[in-house]
Amino acid sequence: MYALEADQLSKSFTADNRTVDVLKQISLQIPEGAFHAIMGPSGSGKSTLLNLLAGLLPADAGTVTVAGQTLNGLSDQALTLLRRRTVGIIFQDFNLIPTLTVSENIALPALLDGHPLPQARLEKLLHLVGLSHRADQPAEKLSGGEAQRTAIARAFAMEPRIILADEPTGNLDSPSANTFCATLTRLNKELGTAILLISHDAQVAAAAETVHVLKDGVIRGSFASEHNATAVAARYLELMA
């Protein structure tokens, strides 16, 4: 079974009487525990694809299946539960609650689900993202890198089957982006959660095992990153040509 499977997904937007076909019959499979990335130029539809995969936006055609559950036709309530329990999301702008501490932010999805996060899991997550010493710090007093690692821990809190991340290093400097990637890789390995990461940065995408290149609404190619940023950048440019 795949952690996430997209089959023939299409999405168009109409604005000012003009229709743009943003995604054209995209198919994608992320195996359980795998770490994949999507690269593509600005406007190529990366965020739109992620929103369809997270059930935040309905597709015009095609299906999304997450951990064996097909999203088509699910109620808003069922989609909310799916995003709380089965899919973890990491946003570019962190989306933390500023006045809550690191620990409280990480535990929030569990609280919303009606079960406090077990202390042992909270401590394990804090340790894995390197924030044990910041556990009681309000989120508004964190550096960007610390804030994004808090968001990683929060995304993993509910033991989801897949993590979706849209340009998660977009607001980070290069050392913080490197730490972010190393942290995400560690959690992928230790917890076995699948990851789909969107980035236009080859250095970041190289953290994934497999890279898919999106252009003009289609996947132009997919390849193994070999965790080599220079090779990823070269393959990306080839596929863009």
44 binds, among Mg ion, ligand ATP, none (CB under 5 to 8 A by kind): ligand ATP
Amino acid at 186: R
Size of residue set near Mg ion by CB under 5 A:
2
Binding site for ligand ATP (CB under 6 A): 13, 15, 20, 22, 40, 42-48, 200
Torsional class of 192: left (φ above 0), alpha (ψ -120 to 50), beta (otherwise): left
Kindly state the smallest distance separating residue 209's Cβ from ligand ATP, in Å. 22
Cα–Cα distance for residue pair 94/139, rounded to 1 Å:
10
Residue 77 interaction partner, one of Mg ion, ligand ATP, none, beta carbon < 5-8 Å per kind: none
Contact 71, 78 (CB under 8 A): no
46/235 with CB nearer ligand ATP: 46
Nearer to ligand ATP (CB atom), residue 52 or residue 131: 52
Site for Mg ion in 40-59 (CB under 5 A): 46-47
114's CB contacts (< 8 A; 6+ apart) are none
With contact defined as beta carbons under 8 Å apart, do 70 and 229 qualify?
A: no
- Please, which residue, 4 or 52, has the CB nearer to ligand ATP? 52
Q: Nearest approach, Cβ of 62 to ligand ATP (angstroms)?
A: 16
Q: Give the shortest CB-52-to-ligand ATP separation in angstroms.
A: 10
Integer Cα distance of 122 and 102 in angstroms: 10
Residue 132 binds Mg ion, judged by CB under 5 A: no
Work out how close the CB of 1 gets to ligand ATP at its nearest, in angstroms, rounded to a whole number.
28
The HSE-up count of residue 48 (CA atoms within 13 Å, CB side) is: 24
- Identify the CA nearest to 193 among candidates 32, 61, 79: 32
- Interface ranges with Mg ion (CB under 5 A): 46-47
